[in-house]
């Protein structure tokens, strides 16, 4: 299950970003995942939640934004691929190129001010 490695890498990136802003903690992160990325969003969410359980990041919310497969035609038209039909809806050409759909991006990290409780 490579989703565990991905979840761990995402958390490492979040911790690195949070370290740049002392006195803040990450409360929400967003990932953009393309339909061609080969990542099961449910498995990724499960792994993410397993990694943050009982940790300082337990309140961290994961938002997954799915990205559809998009092609661009030689006529310049860009379109979302539906039902594996790669023909351009503008000119019916089959000479199209994939321009998106394989993304795996950390889209955002939302921070909030945080002061740990000390006793």
Q: What gap in Å lies between CA 87 and CA 98, rounded to an integer?
A: 11
| Position 118 pLDDT exceeds 70 | no
What mean pLDDT comes out for the span 41-63? 95
CATH of residue 46's domain is 3.30.2320.50
- Strand-pair category, 61-67 with 24-34: parallel
Give the CA distances from residue 48 to residues 8, 19, 79, in Å, rounded to whole numbers and listed in that order.
7, 20, 32
In total, how many domains does the chain have? 1
60 lies in a domain?
Answer: yes
The confidence band for 117, taking pLDDT boundaries of 50, 70 and 90, is low
118 lies in a domain?
Answer: no
84 lies in a domain?
Answer: no
40 lies in a domain?
Answer: yes
69-115 tens-digit pLDDT: 999 999 999 999 988 899 999 999 999 999 999 999 999 999 999 77
49 lies in a domain?
Answer: yes
What is the percentage of the chain residues whose pLDDT exceeds 70? 96
20 lies in a domain?
Answer: yes
Structural domain including 42 reads: 3-68+100-113
Average pLDDT value for the chain: 93
Q: What gap in Å lies between CA 92 and CA 13, rounded to an integer?
A: 42
The 3-state secondary structure of the chain, one letter per residue: CCHHHHHHHHHHHHHHHHHCCCCEEEEEEEEEEECCCCCCHHHHHHHHHHHHCCCCCCCCEEEEEEECCEEEECCCCEEECECCECCCCCCCCCCEEEEECCCEEEEEEEEEECCCCCC
Residue 1 pLDDT: 61
Residue 24 pLDDT: 93
């Amino acid at each position: 299950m490579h989703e565990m490695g991905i979840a761990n890498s995402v958390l490492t990136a979040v911790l690195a970003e949070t370290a740049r802003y002392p006195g803040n903690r990450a409360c929400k992160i967003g990932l953009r995942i393309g339909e061609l990325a080969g990542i099961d969003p449910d498995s990724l969410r499960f792994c993410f939640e397993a990694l943050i359980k009982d940790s300082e990041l337990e309140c961290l919310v994961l938002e997954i934004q799915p990205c559809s497969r998009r092609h661009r035609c030689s006529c310049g038209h860009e379109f979302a691929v539906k039902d594996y039909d790669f023909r351009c809806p503008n000119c019916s050409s089959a000479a199209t190129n994939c321009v998106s759909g394989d993304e795996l991006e950390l889209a955002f990290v939302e921070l909030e001010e945080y002061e740990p409780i000390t006793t």
